[in-house]
A = this chain, B = another copy of it.
Amino acid sequence: MIKVGIVGGTGYTGVELLRLLATHPQVELEVITSRSEEGVAVADMFPNLRGHVDLCFTVPDPQRLAQCDVVFFATPNGIAMTQVPELLEAGVKIIDLAADFRIKDLSVWEQWYGMSHACPALVAEAVYGLPEINREAIRSARLVANPGCYPTAVTLGYLPLLEAGLIDPAHLIADAKSGASGAGRGANVATLLSEVDSSFKAYGASGHRHLPEISEKLGLLASTDVGLTFVPHLVPMIRGIHATLYGRLRGDAGDLQALFESRYADEGFVDVLPAGSHPETRTVRGGNMCRIAVHRPQGGDTVVVLSVIDNLVKGAAGQAVQNMNIMCGLPEKQGLDLIAVLP
Protein backbone atom coordinates (compact mmCIF):
# COMPACT_ATOMS: atom_id res chain seq x y z
CA MET A 1 0.00 0.00 0.00
CA ILE A 2 1.14 3.48 -0.83
CA LYS A 3 0.89 6.01 1.96
CA VAL A 4 -0.49 9.25 0.62
CA GLY A 5 -0.68 12.76 2.02
CA ILE A 6 -2.51 15.74 0.61
CA VAL A 7 -1.49 19.29 1.40
CA GLY A 8 -4.32 21.76 1.02
CA GLY A 9 -7.39 19.67 0.57
CA THR A 10 -10.28 22.09 0.88
CA GLY A 11 -10.60 23.07 -2.76
CA TYR A 12 -12.18 21.28 -5.67
CA THR A 13 -9.01 19.48 -6.70
CA GLY A 14 -8.69 18.36 -3.08
CA VAL A 15 -12.12 16.78 -2.84
CA GLU A 16 -11.61 15.23 -6.26
CA LEU A 17 -8.28 13.71 -5.19
CA LEU A 18 -10.08 12.24 -2.20
CA ARG A 19 -12.85 10.81 -4.35
CA LEU A 20 -10.29 9.04 -6.53
CA LEU A 21 -7.84 7.99 -3.84
CA ALA A 22 -10.48 6.72 -1.43
CA THR A 23 -11.37 3.90 -3.80
CA HIS A 24 -7.87 3.29 -5.15
CA PRO A 25 -6.97 -0.28 -4.16
CA GLN A 26 -3.30 0.48 -3.47
CA VAL A 27 -3.64 3.72 -1.57
CA GLU A 28 -3.83 4.44 2.11
CA LEU A 29 -4.83 8.02 2.87
CA GLU A 30 -2.61 9.12 5.74
CA VAL A 31 -3.06 12.82 6.15
CA ILE A 32 -4.82 15.80 4.63
CA THR A 33 -3.86 19.28 5.73
CA SER A 34 -5.62 22.60 5.98
CA ARG A 35 -4.74 25.39 8.33
CA SER A 36 -8.15 27.02 8.17
CA GLU A 37 -10.17 23.84 8.68
CA GLU A 38 -8.07 22.16 11.35
CA GLY A 39 -10.05 19.51 13.16
CA VAL A 40 -12.95 19.49 10.74
CA ALA A 41 -13.87 16.10 9.39
CA VAL A 42 -13.33 16.01 5.64
CA ALA A 43 -16.70 14.32 5.23
CA ASP A 44 -18.44 17.15 7.08
CA MET A 45 -17.19 19.60 4.49
CA PHE A 46 -17.78 17.24 1.54
CA PRO A 47 -20.65 14.94 2.51
CA ASN A 48 -20.25 12.86 -0.65
CA LEU A 49 -17.26 11.36 1.16
CA ARG A 50 -19.28 10.19 4.19
CA GLY A 51 -18.51 6.55 4.79
CA HIS A 52 -15.51 6.65 2.48
CA VAL A 53 -13.07 9.06 4.13
CA ASP A 54 -12.84 9.42 7.90
CA LEU A 55 -9.84 11.77 8.08
CA CYS A 56 -9.94 15.20 9.65
CA PHE A 57 -8.02 18.17 8.33
CA THR A 58 -4.82 18.78 10.27
CA VAL A 59 -2.29 21.58 10.35
CA PRO A 60 0.61 20.75 8.01
CA ASP A 61 3.20 18.77 9.91
CA PRO A 62 6.42 18.14 7.94
CA GLN A 63 7.28 15.08 9.97
CA ARG A 64 3.99 13.41 9.36
CA LEU A 65 4.12 14.25 5.66
CA ALA A 66 7.68 12.90 5.52
CA GLN A 67 6.36 9.47 6.43
CA CYS A 68 4.22 9.35 3.30
CA ASP A 69 5.32 7.69 0.10
CA VAL A 70 3.61 10.30 -2.06
CA VAL A 71 2.43 13.79 -1.21
CA PHE A 72 0.06 15.76 -3.44
CA PHE A 73 0.06 19.54 -3.23
CA ALA A 74 -3.39 20.96 -3.97
CA THR A 75 -2.38 24.37 -2.72
CA PRO A 76 -2.44 27.86 -4.22
CA ASN A 77 0.54 28.76 -6.41
CA GLY A 78 3.69 29.51 -4.46
CA ILE A 79 3.13 27.17 -1.51
CA ALA A 80 4.56 23.91 -2.79
CA MET A 81 7.92 25.44 -3.71
CA THR A 82 8.53 26.31 -0.07
CA GLN A 83 7.74 22.84 1.29
CA VAL A 84 8.81 20.47 -1.42
CA PRO A 85 12.60 20.55 -0.84
CA GLU A 86 12.32 19.21 2.69
CA LEU A 87 9.97 16.42 1.65
CA LEU A 88 12.12 15.37 -1.29
CA GLU A 89 15.03 15.27 1.12
CA ALA A 90 13.03 12.81 3.19
CA GLY A 91 12.50 10.59 0.19
CA VAL A 92 8.88 11.50 -0.50
CA LYS A 93 7.63 11.57 -4.07
CA ILE A 94 5.86 14.82 -4.88
CA ILE A 95 3.07 15.68 -7.27
CA ASP A 96 2.28 19.38 -7.38
CA LEU A 97 -1.12 20.28 -8.81
CA ALA A 98 -0.29 23.97 -8.70
CA ALA A 99 1.90 25.84 -11.16
CA ASP A 100 5.12 26.07 -9.17
CA PHE A 101 7.12 23.65 -11.30
CA ARG A 102 5.32 23.68 -14.64
CA ILE A 103 7.33 26.24 -16.57
CA LYS A 104 11.01 25.65 -17.17
CA ASP A 105 11.80 29.21 -18.15
CA LEU A 106 12.08 30.86 -14.74
CA SER A 107 11.94 34.42 -15.98
CA VAL A 108 8.69 33.69 -17.79
CA TRP A 109 7.30 32.00 -14.68
CA GLU A 110 8.26 34.85 -12.40
CA GLN A 111 6.74 37.40 -14.77
CA TRP A 112 3.37 35.65 -15.03
CA TYR A 113 3.11 34.54 -11.43
CA GLY A 114 4.50 37.70 -9.90
CA MET A 115 6.89 36.13 -7.41
CA SER A 116 10.45 34.89 -7.13
CA HIS A 117 10.91 31.17 -7.24
CA ALA A 118 12.05 29.55 -4.03
CA CYS A 119 13.92 26.59 -5.54
CA PRO A 120 15.00 27.08 -9.15
CA ALA A 121 17.04 23.90 -9.18
CA LEU A 122 13.95 21.84 -8.60
CA VAL A 123 12.22 23.54 -11.49
CA ALA A 124 14.93 22.13 -13.69
CA GLU A 125 14.55 18.70 -12.19
CA ALA A 126 10.74 18.57 -12.13
CA VAL A 127 9.05 16.46 -14.81
CA TYR A 128 6.01 17.90 -16.55
CA GLY A 129 3.37 15.33 -15.77
CA LEU A 130 1.67 14.78 -19.08
CA PRO A 131 2.12 11.03 -19.47
CA GLU A 132 1.34 11.09 -23.16
CA ILE A 133 4.60 12.91 -23.80
CA ASN A 134 6.69 12.26 -20.68
CA ARG A 135 5.79 8.80 -19.46
CA GLU A 136 9.32 7.49 -19.13
CA ALA A 137 10.60 10.54 -17.31
CA ILE A 138 7.63 10.42 -14.93
CA ARG A 139 8.42 6.81 -14.10
CA SER A 140 11.68 7.80 -12.44
CA ALA A 141 10.75 11.29 -11.27
CA ARG A 142 10.89 12.46 -7.67
CA LEU A 143 8.93 15.61 -8.46
CA VAL A 144 6.13 15.90 -10.99
CA ALA A 145 4.54 19.16 -12.05
CA ASN A 146 0.94 18.25 -12.79
CA PRO A 147 -0.17 20.18 -15.90
CA GLY A 148 -2.82 22.87 -15.85
CA CYS A 149 -6.29 22.02 -17.09
CA TYR A 150 -6.24 24.15 -20.24
CA PRO A 151 -2.67 23.03 -21.09
CA THR A 152 -3.74 19.38 -20.89
CA ALA A 153 -6.66 19.79 -23.27
CA VAL A 154 -4.77 22.03 -25.68
CA THR A 155 -1.52 20.09 -25.74
CA LEU A 156 -3.18 16.72 -26.32
CA GLY A 157 -5.19 18.27 -29.15
CA TYR A 158 -2.25 19.82 -30.98
CA LEU A 159 0.26 17.07 -30.21
CA PRO A 160 -0.10 14.82 -33.27
CA LEU A 161 -0.14 17.78 -35.65
CA LEU A 162 2.92 19.48 -34.19
CA GLU A 163 4.93 16.29 -33.80
CA ALA A 164 4.27 15.54 -37.45
CA GLY A 165 5.09 19.08 -38.48
CA LEU A 166 1.80 19.43 -40.33
CA ILE A 167 0.75 22.89 -39.19
CA ASP A 168 2.31 26.32 -39.08
CA PRO A 169 3.49 26.66 -35.47
CA ALA A 170 3.67 30.43 -35.70
CA HIS A 171 -0.08 30.97 -35.86
CA LEU A 172 -1.94 28.66 -33.54
CA ILE A 173 -5.32 29.65 -32.21
CA ALA A 174 -6.74 27.93 -29.13
CA ASP A 175 -10.27 28.95 -28.27
CA ALA A 176 -10.91 27.27 -24.93
CA LYS A 177 -13.96 27.00 -22.70
CA SER A 178 -14.11 25.95 -19.09
CA GLY A 179 -16.68 25.32 -16.42
CA ALA A 180 -16.57 27.44 -13.28
CA SER A 181 -14.89 24.90 -11.02
CA GLY A 182 -11.64 25.79 -12.75
CA ALA A 183 -11.76 29.07 -10.88
CA GLY A 184 -11.64 27.26 -7.57
CA ARG A 185 -13.64 27.23 -4.38
CA GLY A 186 -12.70 30.65 -3.08
CA ALA A 187 -15.32 33.21 -2.09
CA ASN A 188 -15.51 35.41 -5.14
CA VAL A 189 -18.25 37.56 -6.63
CA ALA A 190 -17.14 36.73 -10.17
CA THR A 191 -17.99 33.04 -9.83
CA LEU A 192 -21.29 33.31 -7.96
CA LEU A 193 -24.07 31.40 -9.63
CA SER A 194 -25.91 34.67 -10.12
CA GLU A 195 -22.95 36.06 -12.05
CA VAL A 196 -22.05 33.05 -14.15
CA ASP A 197 -25.25 31.13 -14.82
CA SER A 198 -27.16 31.70 -18.04
CA SER A 199 -24.32 33.75 -19.46
CA PHE A 200 -21.12 33.26 -21.46
CA LYS A 201 -18.01 35.35 -21.74
CA ALA A 202 -14.35 35.32 -22.63
CA TYR A 203 -11.78 36.36 -20.05
CA GLY A 204 -8.07 36.98 -20.08
CA ALA A 205 -8.13 37.54 -23.83
CA SER A 206 -5.02 39.66 -23.55
CA GLY A 207 -3.12 37.16 -21.46
CA HIS A 208 -3.80 34.21 -19.15
CA ARG A 209 -1.31 32.31 -16.99
CA HIS A 210 -1.83 29.13 -18.92
CA LEU A 211 -0.59 30.80 -22.11
CA PRO A 212 3.15 30.60 -21.32
CA GLU A 213 2.73 27.04 -20.01
CA ILE A 214 1.02 25.92 -23.18
CA SER A 215 3.42 27.79 -25.44
CA GLU A 216 6.44 26.21 -23.79
CA LYS A 217 5.07 22.70 -24.10
CA LEU A 218 3.86 23.15 -27.68
CA GLY A 219 7.29 24.55 -28.52
CA LEU A 220 8.87 21.31 -27.35
CA LEU A 221 6.52 19.32 -29.56
CA ALA A 222 7.16 21.56 -32.54
CA SER A 223 10.90 21.82 -31.87
CA THR A 224 10.57 25.55 -32.37
CA ASP A 225 8.95 28.53 -30.75
CA VAL A 226 5.24 28.69 -31.35
CA GLY A 227 2.96 31.67 -31.78
CA LEU A 228 -0.21 31.01 -29.85
CA THR A 229 -3.37 33.03 -29.45
CA PHE A 230 -5.18 31.61 -26.44
CA VAL A 231 -8.63 32.87 -25.48
CA PRO A 232 -10.30 31.20 -22.49
CA HIS A 233 -14.05 31.44 -21.89
CA LEU A 234 -16.30 30.72 -18.94
CA VAL A 235 -19.18 28.26 -19.48
CA PRO A 236 -22.19 28.27 -17.13
CA MET A 237 -21.52 24.77 -15.82
CA ILE A 238 -19.38 23.23 -13.10
CA ARG A 239 -17.03 20.78 -14.82
CA GLY A 240 -15.50 20.40 -18.23
CA ILE A 241 -13.08 21.95 -20.65
CA HIS A 242 -13.60 22.12 -24.37
CA ALA A 243 -10.69 23.32 -26.47
CA THR A 244 -11.35 24.25 -30.07
CA LEU A 245 -7.97 24.35 -31.78
CA TYR A 246 -7.18 25.86 -35.16
CA GLY A 247 -4.09 25.33 -37.28
CA ARG A 248 -3.02 26.16 -40.82
CA LEU A 249 -1.95 23.05 -42.69
CA ARG A 250 1.36 23.08 -44.54
CA GLY A 251 1.40 21.17 -47.80
CA ASP A 252 -0.37 17.84 -48.09
CA ALA A 253 -1.66 16.88 -44.70
CA GLY A 254 -2.64 13.32 -45.52
CA ASP A 255 -5.17 11.41 -43.44
CA LEU A 256 -5.55 13.38 -40.24
CA GLN A 257 -7.98 10.93 -38.69
CA ALA A 258 -5.47 8.12 -39.15
CA LEU A 259 -2.69 10.29 -37.76
CA PHE A 260 -4.60 10.94 -34.54
CA GLU A 261 -5.76 7.35 -34.15
CA SER A 262 -2.28 6.05 -34.67
CA ARG A 263 -0.61 8.51 -32.30
CA TYR A 264 -3.01 7.67 -29.48
CA ALA A 265 -3.53 3.97 -30.20
CA ASP A 266 -1.71 2.93 -27.04
CA GLU A 267 -2.93 5.69 -24.78
CA GLY A 268 -5.46 4.57 -22.23
CA PHE A 269 -6.77 8.03 -21.47
CA VAL A 270 -6.97 9.60 -24.90
CA ASP A 271 -9.89 8.58 -27.07
CA VAL A 272 -9.95 9.64 -30.71
CA LEU A 273 -13.58 9.74 -31.81
CA PRO A 274 -14.74 8.56 -35.23
CA ALA A 275 -14.45 11.03 -38.11
CA GLY A 276 -17.18 13.65 -38.05
CA SER A 277 -17.73 13.50 -34.29
CA HIS A 278 -18.12 16.33 -31.82
CA PRO A 279 -17.03 15.41 -28.30
CA GLU A 280 -19.24 16.63 -25.46
CA THR A 281 -17.75 17.47 -22.10
CA ARG A 282 -20.40 15.37 -20.38
CA THR A 283 -18.89 12.24 -21.93
CA VAL A 284 -15.85 12.73 -19.69
CA ARG A 285 -17.58 14.10 -16.58
CA GLY A 286 -16.03 12.46 -13.57
CA GLY A 287 -13.70 10.36 -15.73
CA ASN A 288 -10.02 10.67 -16.62
CA MET A 289 -10.48 10.55 -20.37
CA CYS A 290 -9.58 13.11 -23.01
CA ARG A 291 -11.79 12.75 -26.08
CA ILE A 292 -10.66 14.27 -29.35
CA ALA A 293 -12.11 14.79 -32.80
CA VAL A 294 -10.36 16.24 -35.82
CA HIS A 295 -12.08 18.13 -38.65
CA ARG A 296 -10.96 19.74 -41.86
CA PRO A 297 -13.91 21.94 -42.80
CA GLN A 298 -14.71 22.03 -46.50
CA GLY A 299 -11.41 20.28 -47.14
CA GLY A 300 -9.58 23.57 -46.77
CA ASP A 301 -6.20 24.33 -45.27
CA THR A 302 -7.49 24.90 -41.77
CA VAL A 303 -7.60 21.97 -39.38
CA VAL A 304 -9.93 22.08 -36.39
CA VAL A 305 -9.33 19.87 -33.36
CA LEU A 306 -11.96 19.47 -30.65
CA SER A 307 -10.57 18.25 -27.34
CA VAL A 308 -12.53 17.73 -24.12
CA ILE A 309 -11.56 16.77 -20.58
CA ASP A 310 -12.99 17.03 -17.11
CA ASN A 311 -10.91 19.86 -15.74
CA LEU A 312 -10.95 18.34 -12.24
CA VAL A 313 -9.97 14.84 -13.41
CA LYS A 314 -7.73 14.60 -16.48
CA GLY A 315 -7.15 18.33 -15.96
CA ALA A 316 -6.10 17.96 -12.32
CA ALA A 317 -6.73 15.20 -9.77
CA GLY A 318 -7.13 12.29 -12.18
CA GLN A 319 -3.96 13.10 -14.04
CA ALA A 320 -2.21 13.45 -10.68
CA VAL A 321 -3.30 9.93 -9.74
CA GLN A 322 -2.24 8.72 -13.17
CA ASN A 323 1.19 10.21 -12.48
CA MET A 324 1.26 8.59 -9.05
CA ASN A 325 0.51 5.22 -10.61
CA ILE A 326 3.37 5.65 -13.07
CA MET A 327 5.82 6.91 -10.44
CA CYS A 328 4.97 4.02 -8.14
CA GLY A 329 5.05 1.28 -10.73
CA LEU A 330 1.33 0.58 -10.54
CA PRO A 331 -0.90 -0.13 -13.52
CA GLU A 332 -1.53 3.27 -15.05
CA LYS A 333 -5.31 2.89 -15.00
CA GLN A 334 -5.58 1.59 -11.46
CA GLY A 335 -8.31 3.42 -9.60
CA LEU A 336 -8.99 5.51 -12.69
CA ASP A 337 -11.06 3.20 -14.86
CA LEU A 338 -14.13 5.32 -14.30
CA ILE A 339 -17.12 5.68 -16.58
CA ALA A 340 -18.25 9.25 -17.00
CA VAL A 341 -21.60 10.13 -15.43
CA LEU A 342 -24.00 10.82 -18.30
CA PRO A 343 -26.49 12.42 -18.32
Contact = CB atoms under 8 A, between A and B. Distances in A.
A251 interface: no
Nearest to A196: B193
A295 B211 CA distance: 15
Interface size class of chain A, counting residues whose CB lies under 8 Å from the partner chain: 35 or more
A173 B302 contact: yes
Interface string A176-212: 0101110101111101111111111111011100000
A238 B194 contact: yes
A229 interface: yes
B304 A205 contact: yes
Nearest to A293: B205
Contact of A297 (B47, B229, B248): B229
Interface in A265-295: 271, 273-274, 276, 278-287, 291, 293, 295
Interface stretch (A131-139, A140-148, A334-342): A334-342
B298 A207 contact: yes
Contact of A193 (B197, B229, B274): B197
B52 A339 contact: yes
A259 interface: no
A240 interface: yes
B282 A48 contact: yes
A175 B199 CA distance: 17
Count this chain's copies in the assembly. 4
A197 B187 CA distance: 16
B286 A341 contact: yes
Contact of A341 (B48, B180, B197): B48
A248 B246 CA distance: 13
A250 interface: no
Given A22-B339, A171-B302, A229-B297, A198 B48 contact: no
A281 to B, nearest CB: 5
Contacts of A280: 47, 199-201
Given A173-B302, A187-B188, A231-B304, A47 B198 contact: no
A293 B231 CA distance: 13
B198 A12 contact: no
A91 interface: no
Given A23-B337, A201-B242, A342-B48, A276 B189 contact: no
A4 interface: no
Nearest to A18: B339
B47 A341 contact: no
Given A19-B342, A285-B341, 16 more contacts: A12-B343, A15-B343, A47-B279, A47-B291, A51-B271, A173-B302, A187-B188, A187-B189, A192-B193, A195-B343, A197-B237, A205-B304, A230-B297, A235-B236, A236-B236, A239-B343
